[in-house]
Amino acid sequence: MSAASASTLRASDGGAGLPRHVAIIMDGNGRWAKARHLPRVAGHRKGAEAVRATIRAARELGIEVLTLYAFSSENWRRPEEEVSDLKGLLRHYLLGEIEELAANGVRLRVIGEYRRFGPELARLLDDAIERTVGNRAMTLVIALNYGAQDEIVRAARALAEDALAGRIDPAAIDAETLDARLDTRELPPPDLLIRTSGERRLSNFLLWQAAYAELLFVDTLWPDFGREALFAAVADYGRRERRFGGL
């Protein structure tokens, strides 16, 4: 699609229009590599290129928030060599891409217990977050060592501790109170949640936040995703009618 197509998507007044927040479960790196008789790390490297292309396309469209599921809390069960490769790719990405993110006004935010990746990666992430904190063109959220059930448990535990200490009345706890304790606090909920590779499940991703998200499952493997695929997904979203439980 051309830049004019991006303008058309933004200006559309039919259907749902342009999503403020797009969340993506990036799936299929391993299958992409296997189909080409390559090691799994080759799929992850190609997937990193898809990340770059998708971020640029999201900025072009004017999407406010892009959330990418990069490493789940269950991914630690993968072979140690693959986890090490993923950590190395994350380090390479942070060192190589932070300049472009900063120059283009992209704010980086991380959800999940990312300090488990070790002090070096945690420091790089902290530095990148701090460097881009004032940017307003788009917010890029990376989910690292993230699991939605764990996130909800941590939020519930924090509220329980405050209630026991008398800092909050249990009767006053509502959806907004819990939402304010989640990793995604102060962010709009996802309007569109995409999963690549043909799988049709949420895999413990943004379970609370995606309560009213439009879901889109595509057969494209993540390394083959990019600008055209994101534009097509946003166009699909724009044709939908969102009711939020109403008529």
Residues tagged in the binding site annotation: 27-32, 40, 44, 72-74, 76, 78, 195, 201-203, 214
Which H/E stretch holds residue 10?
helix 3-11
All domains of the chain in start order, with CATH: 17-146+190-212+223-236 (3.40.1180.10)
How high is the pLDDT of residue 246? 62
CB atoms within 10 A of CB 148: 24
**Mean pLDDT, the chain, integer:** 92
How high is the pLDDT of residue 1? 46
Ordered alpha helix ranges (H), 72-187: 80-103, 119-132, 148-164, 175-179
- The pLDDT tens digits for 11-66 are 555 567 999 999 999 999 999 999 999 999 999 999 999 999 999 999 999 999 99
Q: Which of 75, 104, 135, 204 is catalytic?
A: 75
Backbone angles phi, psi at 217, to 5 degrees: -110, 120
Query: Over pLDDT 70: what percentage of the chain?
Result: 93
Task: For residue 135, indicate whether it is catalytic.
Answer: no
Has residue 3 got a pLDDT over 50?
no
Residues tagged in the binding site annotation for Mg(2+): 27, 214
Residue 151 CA to residue 155 CA, distance in Å, equals 6
Task: For residue 236, indicate whether it is catalytic.
Answer: no
Q: Which of 13, 27, 85, 135 is catalytic?
A: 27
Backbone angles phi, psi at 210, to 5 degrees: -90, 20
Q: Are 73 and 147 in contact (CB under 8 A)?
A: yes
Global pTM value: 0.92
Has residue 8 got a pLDDT over 70?
no
From residue 132, give the alpha-carbon distance in Å to each of 70, 112, 118, 127, 138.
19, 19, 21, 9, 10
Residues tagged in the binding site annotation for substrate: 28-32, 40, 44, 72-74, 76, 78, 195, 201-203
